[in-house]
Amino acid sequence: MYTLSGFVTYTFISGGLLLCAMILTGVRGSIVKVFAASAVANLVSMIPVAFIGNIIPLIVLIWLLSKWTSGKIWPDIVLLVIVSWGLRILLAFFVLSSIFNSAQ
């Protein structure tokens, strides 16, 4: 149950951040396909693979976004993924700072 709810939550958050990154980078694509690419990458990240467990979902995400959006792999899709990861870090800082500020 927790794995399913975490998967759905993480898919919506990463898909939403990918959409924000698409707006910032100017890459065009379908909303449904972006969320599908996010879901497939999240499913692949659940496979326990030693040492390269985080690289395989990244490769899958870049490949699916290159097939389902208007961008080329280099530089459009790679920049899109980097910007979405940067937005994810900013979101994590915002959530953590709001949690720590409310605890005081």
Residue 33 pLDDT greater than 90, yes or no? yes
Domain assignments of the chain as residue spans, ordered by start: 2-103
If one compares 1 and 10, the residue with the highest pLDDT of the two is 10
Q: How confident is the model at residue 102 (pLDDT cuts 50, 70, 90)?
A: confident
Query: Quick one: CA dihedral 49, 13, 15, 78, positive or negative?
Result: negative
Q: How confident is the model at residue 2 (pLDDT cuts 50, 70, 90)?
A: low
d(CA 54, CA 31) in angstroms, rounded, equals: 24
pLDDT in tens, 38-95: 999 999 988 888 777 788 989 999 999 999 998 888 888 999 999 998 999 999 999 9
Cα–Cα separations (whole angstroms), residue 49 to 42, 44, 53, 56, 80: 14, 10, 5, 9, 25
Residue 1 pLDDT greater than 60, yes or no? no
Decide: helix, strand or coil at residue 69.
strand
Mean pLDDT, range 18-32, rounded to an integer: 92
Q: Which residues contact 7 (CB under 8 A, 6 or more apart)?
A: 39, 42, 43, 46
Q: Are 27 and 76 in contact (CB under 8 A)?
A: yes
Residue 1 CB coordination number (10 Å) = 5
What's the pLDDT score for residue 50?
A: 74
